[in-house]
A and B are shown apart, each in its own frame.
Chain A
């Protein structure tokens, strides 16, 4: 027992501080990706609902591609593709030395693209749920398109979209484990390293699973609190007070 506790201890001998550092990177990456992916998802949703056929087609292609290609493959393509592109641009500009794509940025972009494709569907559902009378009413009051969206549609949107976006967040949290393959030292990366050094896979991968579980359970709790808050103006049960 002491042996296992020592392995998980802080400091040089144990892996506790490494795992904690990795967990911090996991959380940081997920939090950094979230606003980017969700905002991009809203833009794609608006494109898919726009009057322009070109925008609609572009939106459909975007979601089809990023929902159909494995996240791991997207990550590789973004990481190596951006790496090659950056290096070409660097050489093209005649700059000295080499440039490296930071793994964190590559992970953020790849996961953000995927998150956008999935959150787009949530946004579309939410946008469809808002009665068009709301927009017409806003126009009748003299609000322009942007103001009507910001003051009338957006506040209602979040309430409807929140459960779906919450699911997206839970998926994202788990998907961050993939960035360990492009050498970003997240939780999965450090547990893998600890496994190689100590030959204690059950202990370390079990610990990683537990940490991810804690994140998931905490998120679920936080999300239900948040949902309660966004629904506070609505009577629970028979479909609200609309």
Chain B
């Protein structure tokens, strides 16, 4: 017997024993999807935040429109737009050689989630950078530092402290929202559980999936607490 069948075996549930491996496999897919989107999205999000803060009139309003669109519409609608829309412009995508990516549901989901989380993360970074007092800039400039150095050595570390908590929340939200990937044929945790339910009609598989999601979220929360302790260690009195 495989390790992934044990939870079902231990509680004596046939559906969980039979589909346990699929469900754990789906958990892996979920984590992969979220990790890819959140990491790529953080780079894009930071870029968007910088454009919004320091860009010209045109570029900063484009960045603002981007965040408004992705924060104002449901992730599900965005996912469908990309997933089904890619099929509609298939000839165009084939011409530029991108069809090999967009024909994969997993790529479409990772692509959409990246754009989506970038918009939310951009707002987090923007708020965090703005929260750093301008006196910090002025003092650094008085010391003769260049703008790039000021940003990375003075502003970024202080902004990072402020951004940490909302970024953790965003990660948790991504883990949860990634469940919609199951609606475009991806067998993530939600998708493989839906598969198991459709075959077994045993509600326990959904409850088990809920527990797995809770577990991931709880782990993220604990890890975040540790990181926050570490980043703010200079603020704690002995």
Contacts and interface: CB of A to CB of B under 8 A. Distances in A.
A29 B75 CA distance: 18
Interface in A193-211: 195, 199-202, 205-206, 208-209
Interface stretch (B4-12, B125-133, B156-164, B206-214): B206-214
B74 A212 contact: yes
A84 B88 CA distance: 40
B77 A73 contact: no
Interface in A30-70: 64-65, 67-70
B78 interface: yes
B203 A68 contact: no
Contacts of B214: 64-65, 68-69
B229 interface: no
Interface stretch (A1-9, A10-18, A136-144, A171-179): A171-179
Contact of B74 (A69, A77, A177, A181): A177
Contacts of B176: 68-71
B81 A77 contact: no
Dominant secondary structure at the A interface? helix
A147 interface: no
A175 B74 contact: yes
Contacts of B182: 72
Contacts of A111: none
Nearest to A71: B176
Interface in A177-199: 177-178, 180-181, 188, 191-192, 195, 199
Interface in B52-94: 68-69, 71-78, 80-81, 84-85, 87-89
B197 interface: yes
Given A177-B77, A199-B88, 9 more contacts: A65-B214, A201-B88, A205-B81, A205-B85, A208-B77, A209-B77, A212-B73, A212-B74, A216-B73
9 contacts: A69-B210, A70-B177, A73-B209, A84-B203, A175-B74, A188-B80, A205-B84, A213-B69, A216-B73
Interface of A: 64-65, 67-74, 76-77, 80-81, 84, 174-178, 180-181, 188, 191-192, 195, 199-202, 205-206, 208-209, 212-213, 216-217
